[in-house]
Structure 1
Amino acid sequence: MALMSAIPTTSPALVTLSDIQAAAVRIRDLVVRTPLLPCAWAEDGRPLWLKPESLQATGAFKLRGASNALAQLDAEQRARGVVAQSSGNHAQAVAYAAQRLGVRATIVMPDTTPAVKLEATRGFGAEVVIVPPAERDIRPHELVAEHGYGHIPPYDDARIIAGQGTAGLEIAEDLLASAGAGLGEAAGAPDAASDLVLVPVSGGGLISGVATAIKALSPDTRVIAVEPELAADAAESFRTGERVTWTPEQTYRTIADGLRTTSLGVLPFEHFRRYVDGVVTVSEDEIAEAVRVLGRKSRLVAEPSGAVTTAAYLFHAAELPAASRTVAVVSGGNVDPAKYREYYG
């Protein structure tokens, strides 16, 4: 795996550490500050900690960005309501945050969305509009034009990136605070290696925010994106240096339904190429095995999208930089119960 050094950009819209720190204050009463959980089952010399965003009230990291975006709406926009598009986790996040803040929410969801995510979104009081996957990103703009809703996009938005970046802020703070004690005294860890953070990537909102925070607070820490082989548009974008788009027919082959976005967002791509050090892709079998490992050994329910980082740790050590400490972001746990039984075995 090639590693990418920082590439200068003239974009004025990049999210900054101060944006992320402001978001952390803004959303502190709406989200959980998730811990770093040590893995007793980690390989010798490769200590691993999990960042379980599955513990959020909506079961995924998306609550961070949605809460930050909704919290910044003015009174007029709150009165009109908001619309968002999502295969599930962003949908639930917007619905939940809107309910907490007293805002009407309409969510556009593809007809391939797992039933558990549809039910949860409706359960938070949102109106759900079901469309074919190809219309998921079109219908919200039509509803904005028809009703004047405020649009809360899933990833291509500075408010969303800053909110998701609060997870990276917490990781960096915990790693720095633990240096020389507890978490920092990992037996058998390489002495001279830097820390490593593994982050799932789809549209890029999470990795953009996490990488921005990590690189600002701990510049030597490596940030690696992880995605399915069957939805590897980010890996191709990394290789070519250009933002690549895959078709829905390609990306919807993966069991990781939260990582089926066809390309990185425009703004996330700018963060991605500046701050991300590399990309690893994992197979469908590896993802399923990681779901099993997280359930059996860490007692964490993870959806396939949230398990890709653990899959990278388990099966792609040779492609990862040597690390004194590795953190794998478990981005969500909203998995269909029937499917989970299949993965769990």
Structure 2
Amino acid sequence: MDAPFEFAARYRVRHDFAALRDRFVVGEELVYVRAAYSTYDDMHGYFFRSLPGGGWRSWDLDAPAGDNWREHFEEIAGPERLVVAAAAGDLEAVEARLPMLISHEAPLWTELACMRAAGNDHAAVLERLLPTLALDRRAELLMFACREGTVAAVATVLAAGIGVDHRDSAGQTPLHHAAARGDRLLVELLRSHGADPLAANDSGTTPLSLARAWRHDAVLALLAAPDSHRCAGTWELVPELSLYDFGEPARSGRYQIAVAAGQVRFAIDWETSDGQPREIAFGGWLDGLRLPCEFPGITHLSFTAVDDNTLDSDTYDGERHLSHARRRVSDDGRLLAVVQQARTPEGCWAANFSVYRRI
């Protein structure tokens, strides 16, 4: 989004005035950082950092700012030289400028310089500046670099010891941003550092489901669950170990589980207590998101790889949660425990417990 302000330039407030979220006081000094547009409320926002504290301030408008910004602000200095040098990748100029910063302003300038270096993928400059940056700001810088798609900058921040499990205000991880971009190199880098493709944000969306929604097939292949899971295989029911709260235990049964390319497939056949053969097959993406279902009385189901030993599934009728099943393999890989929880007609939860042995 274009803005009339210049990144890292200084501005002074001309008079007292109230904005939508902030009140500005005559004489206060601000440093411009970025602009944003909200489709939700059709608002344009211009974000500043205050001096000397560095707190965030926002000027929100229902239309893009034009020359009217001069009614409220005056530019008193161009961008700090450290920020300009970092943006250009000029390591020598960065080294020369760092000792000259005013101490109480240094944290803000180094933070903005890191943003510029990361945004332009100047890894050498970023490596020099990172030790001057607070740890919490380094984590935010990682998110910024992932949104920008600058792979060398992301690698530099990760090498400084910042973990890949940091989350932003929406619960998104760096891998969420990389997956949404469809950036294969960035996804490979984050996965090599242990980023979880099934980590859900605050709305329940995972990096895997983002790649699928945006049709980033190459990234989807990287993020998909491996072609194996400890629950995968063919299992035979051990009837004498079954404990049922509802229904009758089966006389015999076989449970087949296949996991490949981020999806799971279940095929179950069994003999009822009165000798009738039964079978069912179902499956879907292992991303925890609800999928449409055509089974009678069920509108949606979901599947989740909780960890290397556990697979979950859930069924729904609209917003009503109908059932939950958990399959967990033993440490030695020889037994599979299956717990099925379902609502009774009275609305209470009941559970059936079954054990299978690998065949």
Task: Judge same fold: TM > 0.5, yes or no.
Answer: no
**Which has the larger helix fraction?**
1
**Which has the larger strand fraction?**
2
User: Which has the higher relative contact order, 1 or 2, with Cα contacts under 8 A spaced 6 or more apart?
Assistant: 1
TM class by shorter chain equals under 0.3
Question: Larger radius of gyration, structure 1 or 2?
Answer: 2
TM-score (norm 2): 0.23
TM-score (norm 1): 0.24
